[in-house]
């Protein structure tokens, strides 16, 4: 074991010695490497292929590789540094660099210090580049563009060609621009640089001028100092030692192998046509797509427009479509006489209710189809709502209207009869004849309004058929609308007054009562008579407002007279529309007399004969209720309407107001008298009272008295008068008796 241990120790010592030796050798070797000086070489990097940056950002190029080879021979480690100065002359003054290159010859530094240069490394050919096929004159007279960084070379050039004018540019692009604009005749640079730069696609129009070539040296420059001298000397030795073949290999390496590297702008230039066409194609695609979208949108809009302009049920125009078509036609045919008609089926609601909606729709479609059969391209038809058809038709006189009557209206009227259902369709039409002015100022709605006014007159007349519009109707309609709108203000401002028309007993001469009749002193239109505003208010559904006001005023007067010890009674008018299921009219009157402390028999309530004929059940019920409360109910205007004698049997009432004007007006007066005498007898026999109104002459009064009717009201006795006059009259008569 001991022997083995000793052997092991010897081996370890041996190894240690070996390792120490190796270490020492390494130290010596290290000392040798440290002794190699590092040479800092300042170079420009924008001169491919002479000096440029490789992919990793290291400095390379013909000049760089040659300098490496030379430095190797001269025993230098070389380190290249990119110069930041604009010119090589300025770089010479920067102490960071030991040497600067390339120089053609020794030139003073920018600060004016003397410099020295090495032996020539390479004879670099300089070439002029010109634009297109331009011919250059003598090189000595040229204006030449050079890069600013070639300032050193420029000085050499100046020495060589004193007549040459040199203009400096910051970049290759700037200099090329100057060449293209004719600012300079040619550009001057190292041929190796040109061989690289002219590969740029955008410089395809530039060409080398081979006849004007000259060579310049490619040397290393240093300051004229001892150190500079030492470096240049060592480098000269290196230059001497580097074989020419090696230098040529370097040149070849960078000119044949290193191809021009395309940057983004080069690709843009290279593929410019492709890009332009591609762009145009893309733009065309965008335009086509946009146009297609637009067309589709227009088509869509057109579809929507058609939906709006067409009536889906009958296929004729809608109101909107009709308006447009009429405008077009009137504009296109300014001299054609036209008429517009507004047509309405009078009993359409009944048809729908009794025969069903589908039957109603069939009728509308049939009407549309029949109308279209007779119409031309220059006519138009539209359905504007429910059963309302509007038609624009070329005017053709009575003959054409008769033909339409036979071809369209008669078949429509007999639509259900022909199907065996036995109902005649009633059509009301209003016709408006267009004036030349309507062709100038085309207002379709206005024309339809006119036709509608005429249609309404037919409808109101309880007949069917057609009527022509007349302008007075229109004016009346406008005035009515104005009156209606003004009612609330009129009530508030007391424009409406209650007048009284006395009722007298012809035998005794006493005033037995009065009828309350309203008068309207309109702030703008002056005095208005009930015949004008009552029907308008009835139609607008506002008559109840007016009547409530009148009844209230009457009750106030009755109260006032009662307080004066004068127990009077007044007849008030009840409009047809005042009586409805919802309105408890009898309750309303009862509340009124309670409010003013009156007796029910002081109020006589006049209901017109027409109201009885229209809604007999409702009127009967209301009449009974009123009478139960103790009010006296009177049938107004008896004899003026379509009174049914059986009504007298069915509806109980207290007094009949015989309208003497209707019975004595038109026709044979003798027959009228006979009718009056029998009515009086009949009414008495039925146990009711009778009063004659509209008595204008003494002969009438005498005749009525003879027949047993002593109560009378009429202009012969008194006209309606304001309340104060009525009070004075009463006082005077009472005083006389
Ligand atoms: P009415 O109820 O038949 O009233 C009688 C109308 O005949 C009154 O017309 C009156 O002035 C008129 N009159 C009376 N005697 C004669 C006469 O001898 N000769 C002629 N030619 N006319 C005579 P007025 O005041 O113009 O009223 C017309 C209609 O208006 C009334 O007819 C009545 O139905 C209605 N009316 C008037 N005031 C009101 C009211 O406050 N409410 C309601 N709902 N209707 C009223
Ligand atoms: Mg009356
Ligand atoms: Mg009357």
Q: Of residues 364 and 671, which shows the higher confidence score?
A: 364
Query: Above 50 in pLDDT, residue 156?
Result: yes
Instruction: Please tell me the distance from the alpha carbon of residue 211 to that of residue 486, in angstroms, as a whole number.
Output: 109
Minimal-distance CA residue to ligand 1 atom 3? 637
Q: Are residues 638 and 526 in the same domain?
A: yes
Residue % of the chain over a pLDDT of 90: 54
Last residue of a domain, one of 252, 287, 307: 307
Query: For position 595, which CATH number holds?
Result: 3.20.20.450
In a domain, 410, yes or no: yes
Q: Is 86 part of any domain?
A: yes
Please indicate, yes or no, if residue 372 is contained in any of the structural domains. yes
Q: Which CATH number fits the domain that encloses residue 184?
A: 3.40.190.290
If we measure between CA atoms, which residue out of 119, 124, 133, 44 comes closest to residue 81? 44
CATH code of the domain in which 464 resides: 3.30.70.270
Question: CB within 8 A of 53, min separation 6: which ones?
Answer: 45, 59, 60, 82
Residues 30 and 56 in one domain: no
Residue pLDDT, tens place only, 178-207: 999 999 999 998 888 888 888 888 888 888
Among 29-33, 525-529, 722-726, which stretch is predicted with the lowest mean pLDDT? Answer: 29-33
Residue 312 forms part of a structural domain: no
Say what the pLDDT of residue 87 is: 86
Domain assignment of residue 737, yes or no: no
CA angle 256–259–262, rounded 5-degree value: 165
User: How far is ligand 1, taken at its centre, from the CA of residue 517, in Å?
Assistant: 6
Task: State the pLDDT at residue 42.
Answer: 95
Name the helix (H) or strand (E) containing 713: strand 711-713
| DSSP characters over 582-641 | SS-HHHHHHHHHHHHT--GGGEEEEEEHHHHHH-HHHHHHHHHHHHHHT-EEEEEEETTS
pLDDT band at 99 (very low <50, low <70, confident <90, very high): very high
Mean pLDDT over residues 680-700, rounded? 94
| Domain end (from 280, 307, 334) | 307
The enclosing H or E element of 45 equals none
**What are the C-alpha distances in Å from 224 to residues 229, 240, 443, 464?**
7, 21, 105, 129
**Is 314 inside any structural domain?**
no
Of all protein residues, the one whose alpha carbon is nearest to atom 15 of ligand 1 is: 714
Residues 153 and 198 in one domain: yes
Looking at the fold, whether 144 and 271 belong to one and the same domain comes out as no
| Banded pLDDT at 23 (limits 50, 70, 90) | very low
pLDDT (0 to 100) of residue 401: 85
Angle at 663 between CA 660 and CA 664, to 5 degrees: 85
pLDDT, tens digit, 9 for 90 and up, residues 294-348: 999 998 888 887 778 889 899 999 999 999 999 999 999 988 889 999 999 987 8
Quote the pLDDT of residue 39: 94
* Mean pLDDT for the stretch of residues 146-157: 82
Residues 654 and 549 both lie in one domain: yes
Ligand nearest to the CA of residue 695, numbered in listed order: 1
> Are residue 556 and residue 591 in the same domain, yes or no?
yes
Q: Give, for 503, the enclosing helix (H) or strand (E).
A: strand 496-505
Ligand nearest to the CA of 534: 1
Helix and strand counts by DSSP (H, E) for the chain: 29, 26
What number is the average pLDDT over the span 621-637?
95
Q: Which of 426-440, 458-472, 607-621, 640-654 has the lowest mean pLDDT?
A: 640-654
Ligand number with the minimum distance to the CA of 570: 2
Number of domains the chain contains: 5
Which residue among 530, 555, 639 is best mutated to probe the pocket of ligand 1, counting the most ligand atoms within 8 A of its Cβ? 530
Taking the centre of ligand 3 as the mean of its atom positions, its distance from the CA of residue 639, in whole angstroms, is: 10
31 CA to centre of ligand 1 in angstroms: 143
pLDDT band at 11 (very low <50, low <70, confident <90, very high): very low
> Quick one: DSSP state of residue 243?
-
Q: Is 413 helix (H, G, I), strand (E, B) or coil?
A: helix
Q: Is 17 exposed, middle or buried (0-12, 13-18, 19+ CB in 10 A)?
A: exposed
Q: Which domain covers residue 26, as residue numbers?
A: 1-34
* Ligand 1 atom 38: residue of nearest CA: 517
pTM for the full predicted model? 0.51
Range list of β-strands (E), 54-156: 59-60, 76-82, 99-103, 115-117, 122-131, 143-147
Q: Where are the alpha helices (DSSP H) in 81-129?
A: 88-92
pLDDT of residue 422: 66
Window from 211-215, 257-261, 558-562, 665-669 with minimum mean pLDDT: 257-261
Residues with CB under 6 A from ligand 1: 501, 517-518, 529-531, 534, 543, 547, 550, 573, 575, 606, 636-637, 661, 693-696, 713-715, 720
Q: Mean pLDDT over all residues of the chain?
A: 87
Nearest Cα residue to 416 out of 358, 457, 373:
358
The model's confidence at residue 19, banded by pLDDT at 50, 70 and 90, is very low
Lowest mean pLDDT among 128-132, 233-237, 278-282, 692-696: 128-132
Domain end (from 445, 469, 493): 469
In a domain, 380, yes or no: yes
Instruction: Give the C-alpha separation, 544 to 139, whole Å.
Output: 117
Q: Within this chain, do residues 26 and 118 fall inside the same structural domain, yes or no?
A: no
Of 687, 550, 538, 667, the C-alpha closest to 608 is 538
pLDDT at 258 exceeding the cut of 70: no
Report the distance separating Cα 653 and Cα 655, nearest Å. Answer: 6
């Amino acid at each position: 074991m001991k022997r083995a241990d000793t052997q092991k120790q010897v081996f370890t010592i041996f190894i240690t010695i070996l390792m120490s030796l190796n270490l020492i050798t390494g130290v010596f070797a290290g000392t040798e490497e440290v002794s190699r000086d590092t040479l800092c070489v300042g170079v420009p990097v924008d001169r491919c292929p002479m000096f440029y940056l490789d992919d990793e950002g290291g400095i390379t190029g013909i000049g760089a590789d040659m300098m490496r080879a030379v430095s190797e021979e001269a025993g230098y480690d070389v380190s290249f540094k990119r110069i930041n100065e604009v010119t090589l002359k300025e770089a010479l003054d920067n102490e960071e660099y030991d040497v600067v290159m390339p120089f053609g010859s020794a030139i003073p530094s920018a600060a004016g210090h003397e410099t020295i240069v090495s032996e020539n490394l390479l004879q670099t050919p300089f070439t002029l580049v010109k634009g297109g096929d331009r011919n250059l004159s003598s090189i000595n007279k040229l204006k030449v563009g050079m890069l600013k960084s070639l300032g050193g070379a420029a000085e050499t050039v100046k020495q060589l060609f004193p007549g040459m004018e040199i203009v400096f540019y910051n970049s290759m692009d700037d200099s090329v621009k100057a060449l293209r604009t004719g600012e300079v005749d040619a550009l001057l640079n190292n041929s190796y640089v040109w061989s690289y730069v002219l590969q740029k696609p955008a410089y395809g129009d530039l060409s080398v001028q081979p006849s004007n070539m000259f060579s310049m040296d490619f040397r290393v420059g240093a300051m004229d100092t001892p150190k500079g001298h030492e470096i240049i000397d060592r480098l000269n030795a290196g230059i001497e030692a580097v074989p020419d073949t090696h230098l040529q290999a370097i040149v070849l390496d960078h000119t044949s192998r290193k191809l021009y590297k395309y940057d983004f702008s080069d690709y843009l230039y290279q593929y410019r046509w492709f890009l332009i066409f591609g762009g145009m194609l893309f733009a065309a695609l965008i335009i086509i797509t946009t146009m297609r979208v637009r067309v589709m949108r227009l088509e869509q809009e057109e579809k929507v427009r058609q939906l709006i302009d067409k009536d889906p049920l009958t296929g004729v125009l809608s109101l909107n479509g009709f308006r447009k078509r009429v405008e077009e036609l009137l504009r296109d045919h300014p001299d054609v006489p036209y008429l517009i008609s507004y047509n309405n089926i009078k009993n359409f609601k009944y048809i729908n209710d009794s025969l069903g909606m589908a039957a109603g729709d069939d009728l509308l479609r049939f009407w549309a189809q029949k109308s279209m059969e007779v119409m031309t391209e220059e006519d138009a038809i539209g359905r504007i709502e429910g059963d309302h058809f509007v038609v624009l038709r070329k005017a053709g006189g009575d003959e054409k209207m008769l033909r339409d009557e036979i071809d369209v209206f008669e078949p429509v009227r007999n639509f259900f009869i022909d199907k065996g259902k036995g109902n005649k369709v009633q059509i009301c039409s209003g016709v408006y004849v267009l004036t030349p002015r309507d062709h100038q100022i085309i207002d379709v709605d206005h024309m339809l309004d006119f036709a509608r006014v005429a249609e309404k007159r037919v409808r109101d007349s309880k007949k069917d058929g057609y009527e022509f519009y007349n302008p007075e109707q229109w004016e009346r309609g406008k005035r009515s609308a104005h009156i209606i709108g003004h009612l609330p203000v009129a009530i508030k401002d007391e424009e409406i007054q209650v007048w009284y028309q006395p009722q007298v007993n012809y035998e005794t001469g006493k005033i037995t009562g009065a009828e309350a009749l309203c008068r309207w002193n309109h702030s703008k239109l002056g005095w208005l008579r009930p015949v004008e505003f009552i029907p308008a208010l009835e139609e607008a559904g506002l008559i109840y407002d007016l009547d409530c006001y009148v009844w209230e005023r009457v009750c106030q007067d009755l109260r006032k007279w009662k307080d004066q010890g004068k127990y009077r009674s007044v007849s008030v008018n009840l409009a047809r529309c005042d009586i409805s299921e919802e309105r408890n009219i009898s309750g309303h009157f009862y509340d009124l007399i309670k409010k003013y402390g009156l007796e029910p028999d002081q109020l006589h309530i006049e209901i017109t004969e027409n109201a009885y004929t229209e809604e007999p059940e409702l009127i009967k019920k209301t009449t009974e209720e009123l009478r139960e409360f103790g009010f006296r109910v009177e049938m107004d205007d008896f004899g003026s309407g379509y009174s049914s004698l059986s009504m007298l049997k069915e509806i109980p009432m207290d007094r009949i107001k015989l309208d003497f004007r209707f019975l004595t007006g038109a026709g044979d007066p003798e027959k009228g008298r006979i009718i009056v005498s029998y009515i009086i007898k009949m009414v008495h026999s039925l146990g009711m009272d009778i009063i004659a109104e509209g008595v204008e002459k003494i002969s009438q009064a005498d005749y009525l008295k003879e027949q047993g009717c002593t109560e009378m009201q009429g202009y012969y006795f008194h006209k309606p008068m304001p309340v104060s006059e009525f009070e004075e009259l009463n006082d005077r008569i009472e005083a006389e008796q």
